[in-house]
Amino acid sequence: MEIGPLALAERRLAWLDGRQRVLAQNVANADTPGYLPRDVRAFEAVLSRRTAAATLAATDARHLEPSGGQLARAGRGGLDVAPNGNGVSLEEQAMKIAETDQAHALAMGLHRKYLALFRTALGRN
C-alpha cells in the first residue's frame, strides 16, 4: 500500500491531534490518585502497522493488540509515582505537548506547501 505525501501529512495531523488529547487528559488528571500517564503509540509504529496489516497472519489471539486502541501506558520501570499512586510528571507532559505542537506546525507547513505546489502547477497562484 503506497501513501502519497498529502495523505501522509493528513494521517500525521490526525495522529498528532489524538496525542494532544491524550496528553491533555494526563495533565487534567495530574492530581487523580492512582492515575498513570498514557501516550499514543509512535506514529512510525502506527503507520507501519497499517501498511503491513495485509501481510500479517495471527496464529494466536494473544498476539493481537486489544481492539480499538492506539493508547499505551506511558509508564516505564523508572516511573516516579507519588504516594497517592499518581505517575503524571507535569514537566514531562509539558515537554511532550511542546514536541507535539512543533510536529503539528511542521506537518501543517508541509501540507500547505504541497497544496501550493498543486495550485502553481495548475496556474492558480
Residue-by-residue DSSP string for 55-106: G---SSGGGSPPTT--EEE---TT----TTS----HHHHHHHHHHHHHHHHH
pLDDT at site 16: 96
pTM of the shown model = 0.70
Residue 11's SS3 state is helix
CB atoms within 10 A of CB 12: 20
- Residue % of the chain over a pLDDT of 90: 51
pLDDT in tens, 74-86: 444 456 888 898 9
pLDDT in tens, 36-89: 999 999 999 988 876 554 444 556 555 555 444 455 554 444 568 888 989 999
Amino acid, single-letter form, for residue 25: Q
- Whether residue 103 has pLDDT greater than 70: yes
CA 31 to chain centre: 24
